[in-house]
Structure 1
């Protein structure tokens, strides 16, 4: 990913705006837990999506901003934090050789969401992606990493602190830039999201008022 924070944020907002017209309300189930990526997120607040906006719409934009932050931190780490960069590369190599990760490679709007929809009552049971992801069947066992000295551990902790501080700095810049796009974000929500939510509520209201329901009078 190339360019300044401002251009990256603008690019990802453009991508989100192209996705929003394809969004449809999910009806298969409610969330069993709060999304840690979106609940109380300053990114969601900066975009003006914190109130009365479906979670999937919030999540899609939040994950795109996370791409911007992660890419910037990765670049900073590669340039300035050699020990941490080496450890991260080794860790990724170990994970790639020992785990099946079905959540990798997904579009941003699906990252961080539950992997498996609920099974239909009459459907045959085979497996879930979650079970496959947790299966302990290494494809190629890697040798254990060399032991780090106390000095190396201390140096990596110091570099990790620098990476965390930089991530906070980039996150604040992303929020500030995202606020500049709030008007067109709101315009897309009004045009594509709110009509669908209103239609869903109208369907629910008509079902609750169905003449087939027993009268309470």
Structure 2
């Protein structure tokens, strides 16, 4: 591993600190359900931003730490878990064959979020990004006998099912990968605890004033509502 977990965490923290200077509160409708990446996350708790911090700010840091963990686990898998690495490569090839992948190439701040907002009860969507992503690519049409040449490529035969021994070995490698991911996650959380003063200082400087301004604006708007005598 070229860089330690701690140095990777520091790099992503620096990137997050630059991003937060450009953060602005969203004015559209909020989330309708809890984020599985952030709610109860030990990463968010270790950073000290689990309470009274906008979800978008939490999510941006959480997903950057997920990048660190995923990259470390991928490297460990490629070096030490050949069967699991092979299965993951096959899965990645199948996913790459999808016709439309709207979640691919997003900045870390937007990964893991719902692709589509919740529709209003009286205004359903004609289509959603999630529906488009779930569509399977069309099956290739068989070529006519006249167009078939001796050198034409044939579709690959389906892979044979795994034997009982291979399934047991794959299960063991998956357990090792999970254990390694847990170890990396603990190191990420420990490093975030060291970075907590810088994270909280950035929130106090760039996030809290904007939140207070929104609350003040809301309070001034409510003052115009007629009050019951």
TM over 0.5: yes
User: What pairs with 1:24-103 in structure 2 (closer than 5 Å)?
Assistant: 24-103=24-103
Matches within 5 A, 1:38-187: 38-117=38-117, 127-138=127-138, 144-187=158-201
User: Against the structure 1 CA distance between its residues 19 and 138, is the aligned structure 2 distance closer, same or farther, given a 3 Å change threshold?
Assistant: farther
Call closer, same or farther: CA 1:126–1:151 in 2, change over 3 Å: same
C-alpha contact 2:32 2:118 (8 A) present in aligned 1: no
Which of 209, 213, 216 aligns to 2:223? It is 209
Quick one: structure 1 residues 29 and 180, their matched pair in 2 at CA, closer, same or farther if it must change by over 3 Å? same
SS at match of 1:105: coil
> 1:28/1:84 Cα in 2 relative to 1: closer, same or farther (>3 Å)?
same
Aligned counterparts of 2:174 and 2:76: Cα–Cα separation in 1:
12
User: Hey, what's the Cα distance between the residues in 1 that align with 2:10 and 2:191?
Assistant: 8
The list of structure 1 runs, each at least 4 consecutive aligned residues, that deviate by more than 2 angstroms after superposition, is 116-120, 125-128, 136-146
Distance 1:214 1:119 in 2: 31
Change (3 A) 1:139 1:107: farther
Residues 30-76 of structure 1 deviation map (CA, whole Å, 9 limit, x = unaligned): 21111110001000011000110000000000000000000000000
In 1, are the aligned partners of 2:116 and 2:130 still within 8 Å (CA)?
yes
Count how many residue pairs are aligned between Structure 1 and Structure 2: 214
Deviation of the 1:138 alpha carbon: 4.3
Q: What's the offset of the Cα at 1:99?
A: 4.7
Give the root-mean-square deviation of aligned CA atoms: 2.3
TM superposition shift of 1:215: 2.7
Kindly indicate whether the alpha-carbon contact (under 8 Å) linking 2:16 and 2:61 is maintained by their aligned counterparts in 1.
Answer: yes
Give the structure with the larger helix fraction.
1
Structure 2 CA distance for partners of 1:2 and 1:205, relative to 1, 3 Å: farther
Structure 2: gaps spanning 5 or more residues: 141-154
